Amino acid sequence: MSKYRNVPSLFFAAIVCALSLTSCIGIDASGKIDAKGAGTLSIEYQISKDFVQLGALESTPQLPLPLSREDIERGLRGMQGVTLTSYSQREQGDNVLVSFSLAFESTSDLVKYLDPSGKLAQYQQQNGRSYVKISFGDAISSLDPQMQTEITETLKPYHFRFALETPQTAPQISVDYGDFFHVISSGKKTTLECSMADIITSAQAPEINISWQ
């Protein structure tokens, strides 16, 4: 469905897999950034067992997504300032849940890990404010009404959720081409959430804009 090339990070690989294969995948991510720009990022994704060969942690042709700790560590090779701090995999109902946490020395290091090419994730600082932009891709092909209905029904249990806490006040988060996202701020944290089906059936790939001071 979508046009992606050479996306090495596990976070984006999950999105790519969901968009390109209409796989049953949910993503729950949370990050915390301190005043120096360092912090932590935790990611959990759930994958339908229909797309996973249980007992084999390596990727399959049907699911080109790294599942093992070794695959995640391999993706970190050559990446400066980002380390894997925890990893787990377990079964829950009809899904396999893979969870891991990263520590990063700077926001720039994290963004380079998410997308070394700089095409889907960018970071910059301007006038004492930090900006991160994350794109879900290049293009999403149009769907006929029947296919859209089937995808929406199949992906009902799966969601995309991202929460970020920054040092002073809650970060400002907006989404271009994604009015179906719900954005809630409380204290120093902002949470962004939507159905995975909404992302996949969107007429244009959403772009998340984050800024904080």
pLDDT tens, position by position, 21-76: 445 688 899 999 999 999 999 999 888 877 665 434 444 444 446 678 888 898 88
DSSP H or E segment with residue 150: helix 145-154
Query: Which region holds residue 22: left if phi is over 0, alpha if psi is between -120 and 50, else beta?
Result: left
Per-residue model confidence (pLDDT) at position 122: 95
Per-residue model confidence (pLDDT) at position 10: 56
Highest mean predicted confidence (pLDDT) among 9-13, 55-59, 113-117, 125-129: 125-129
Binning pLDDT at 50, 70 and 90, where does residue 211 land? very high
Instruction: Encode pLDDT of 161-204 as tens digits.
Output: 999 999 999 999 999 999 999 999 999 999 999 998 888 888 88
pTM of the model: 0.83
The residues with which 185 forms a beta bridge, in sequence order, are 190
Q: Which of 122, 108, 120 is nearest to 39 (CA)?
A: 108
Per-residue model confidence (pLDDT) at position 49: 78
Main-chain dihedrals φ then ψ at residue 37, nearest 5 degrees: 95, 0
Lowest mean pLDDT among 137-141, 162-166, 207-211: 137-141
Per-residue model confidence (pLDDT) at position 72: 86
For 145, residues 6+ apart whose C-beta sits below 8 A from its C-beta are none
- Is 122 within 8 Å of 112 (Cβ atoms)? no
- Output 142 or 85, whichever has higher pLDDT: 85
